[in-house]
Amino acid sequence: MSLYQYLNQVKDCLVNRNGDSISQLVTYQDHSHAYSARLIHEFREETVRQVVYKPWDELIVSHLTVCQRIQEENFQEAFKEQMSVTSSFTKMFQSLKDDNWPLPVLFVVSRDLRLLGIASDKEAMIKGSRSRPHESLEKAADLLMGIFRVCATDIRATMDRTKRKGMITVINQLFKIYFRINKLHLCKPLIRALENADMMEFFPLNEQVTYNYFLGMKSLFDSDYKKAEELLTFSFLDCPQNSFKNKQLILIFLIPVKMILGQMPKEAALDRYQLSAFKPLIKAVKEGNIKKFDAALEQEKDFYWKFGIYLVLEKLRVILYRNIFKKVCLILNSHQIPIESLKIALDFLQEESISMDEVHCILANLIYENKIKGYISIQHQKLVVSKQNAFPPLASVS
* Residue 326 pLDDT > 80: yes
pLDDT of residue 319: 87
Output the CA torsion 250→252→255→259 (10° steps): -140
For range 100-115, the mean pLDDT: 96
- Residue 297, classed as helix, strand or coil, is helix
For residue 248, the number of C-alpha atoms closer than 13 Å in the C-beta half-sphere is 14
Query: pLDDT grade, residue 349 (50/70/90)?
Result: confident
Q: How confident is the model at residue 310 (pLDDT cuts 50, 70, 90)?
A: very high
What pLDDT score was predicted for residue 352?
A: 78
Query: How far is the C-alpha of 10 from the C-alpha of 17, rounded, in Å?
Result: 10
> Rounded mean pLDDT of 333-353?
87
100 bridge partner residues? none
For the chain, what is the radius of gyration of the CA atoms? 27
Pick from 24-38, 207-221, 321-335 the range whose average pLDDT is largest: 207-221
Q: Which of 320, 334, 301 is nearest to 394 (CA)?
A: 320
Q: What is the dihedral of CA 231, 237, 241, 244, to 10 degrees?
A: 40
- Judged by DSSP in three states, 337 sits in strand
Predicted confidence band at 127 (pLDDT cuts at 50, 70, 90)?
A: confident
- On the question of pLDDT at 202 being above 70, the answer is yes
Band (pLDDT 50/70/90 cuts) for residue 398 is low
| Residue ranges of domains in the chain, CATH in brackets | 3-199 (1.25.40), 204-313 (no CATH), 316-397 (1.10.10.10)
Q: Comparing C-alpha atoms, which of 92, 69, 94, 93 is closest to residue 80?
A: 69
Q: What is the pLDDT of residue 130?
A: 66
Tell me: cis bond preceding 265? Omega within 30 of 0 counts.
no
Total residues belonging to the chain? 398
Does residue 73 register a pLDDT over 90? yes
Contact indicator for 158, 95 with CB cutoff of 8 Å: no
Q: pLDDT value at position 131?
A: 66
- The answer on pLDDT for 113 being more than 90 is yes
pLDDT at residue 86 tops 70: yes
Handedness of CA 317, 323, 325, 328 (dihedral sign): negative
The predicted-structure confidence for 158-198, as pLDDT tens digits, reads as follows 999 999 999 999 999 999 999 999 999 999 999 999 999 98
Look at residues 231, 211, 215 and name the one whose alpha carbon lies nearest to residue 168.
211
pLDDT above 90 for 323? no
Q: Is the pLDDT of residue 394 over 80?
A: no
Closest CA to 7 of 56, 55, 41: 56
CA angle 321, 326, 328 (to 5 degrees): 95
DSSP state of 202: G
Angstrom distances, CA of residue 320 to CA of 39, 261, 309, 325, 350: 62, 12, 17, 9, 11
Q: What is the pLDDT of residues 12-69, one digit of tens each?
A: 999 999 999 999 999 998 778 988 999 999 999 999 999 999 899 999 999 999 999 9
Q: Helix or strand or coil: residue 376?
A: strand
pLDDT classification of 397: cutoffs 50, 70, 90: low
Cβ proximity of 12 and 46 under 8 Å: no
248-288 residue pLDDT tens = 999 999 999 999 988 889 999 999 999 999 999 999 888 88
Q: Is the pLDDT of residue 229 over 90?
A: yes
- Report yes or no: 288 and 231 within 8 Å, Cβ to Cβ: no
- Strand 374-377 versus strand 336-338 pairing type: unpaired
Mean pLDDT to the nearest integer, 144-153:
96
